[in-house]
Amino acid sequence: LLSDCLGADIPGKVPSESSLTPVFPDIFKKYEGRQVFITTISSNISRMRQIVDAAIGANRRVVLLGRSIINKAGVARKLGYLPDDDTVYINRKEAARYDQASLVYIIGGCFGQVGSSLDRLAKKEMKDTQAESNAVVVFSAEPAPPGVGVDVERVLHDLAIQDLTLLYPAMGLHLHVSGHGHQDDLRQIAE
């Protein structure tokens, strides 16, 4: 048996992805009237679905930022895993014309990758998109898998000096559920 070992040092079981279902509507309600960016792993289509569904419920439209996010969401839309209604999504270049409080940006770069959309937003280097002074940036991904800590800290620093509201799991907030089994999950597979 070959098994994923990234969570092997963590006791217990990983909570269900569905435990995040109320998180995004709560964020939109709490930060109503503010621009919101949510960064997640581009392959986590179920997380994107939760964000899109919450955006629809909050009367926000969705802007996809980052090549990987756009590509994976495009495939997911074609396959029916994300809503394929064009009225849900706004092209990045058109987004500046909208009230920013009526949008949510799903943005790539949750691991602080240099040159990613989140990295460029943090450095104020994006052509069509800027964070407003009261914007909220949500990390709905574990922002520190092995080897990326320095890059994540740099992006967090660059966002923090803009005085943006940052929400991330290390603050004790329930914003991410790992896709990597913990000890009890791995034990169950092995039995």
Other Cβ atoms within 10 Å of 186 Cβ, number: 19
Residue 173, pLDDT score: 77
Residue 42, pLDDT score: 92
Residue 23, pLDDT score: 92
Provide the pLDDT confidence category of residue 102 given band limits of 50, 70 and 90. very high
Q: Do residues 135 and 107 touch, judged by C-beta distance below 8 A?
A: no
Provide the pLDDT confidence category of residue 38 given band limits of 50, 70 and 90. very high
Instruction: Summarize pLDDT for 119-167 with one digit per residue, the tens.
Output: 999 999 998 899 999 999 999 987 566 677 788 889 999 999 998 999 9
Structure tokens, 190: 């092995």
**Mutual angle of helices 45-57 and 23-30, in 10-degree steps:** 40
Q: Taking all residues of the chain, what is their mean pLDDT, rounded to a whole number?
A: 90
pLDDT: which is higher, 142 or 13 = 13
- Percent of the chain topping pLDDT 90: 66
Instruction: Summarize pLDDT for 40-74 with one digit per residue, the tens.
Output: 999 999 999 999 999 999 999 999 999 999 999 99
pTM above 0.85, yes or no: yes
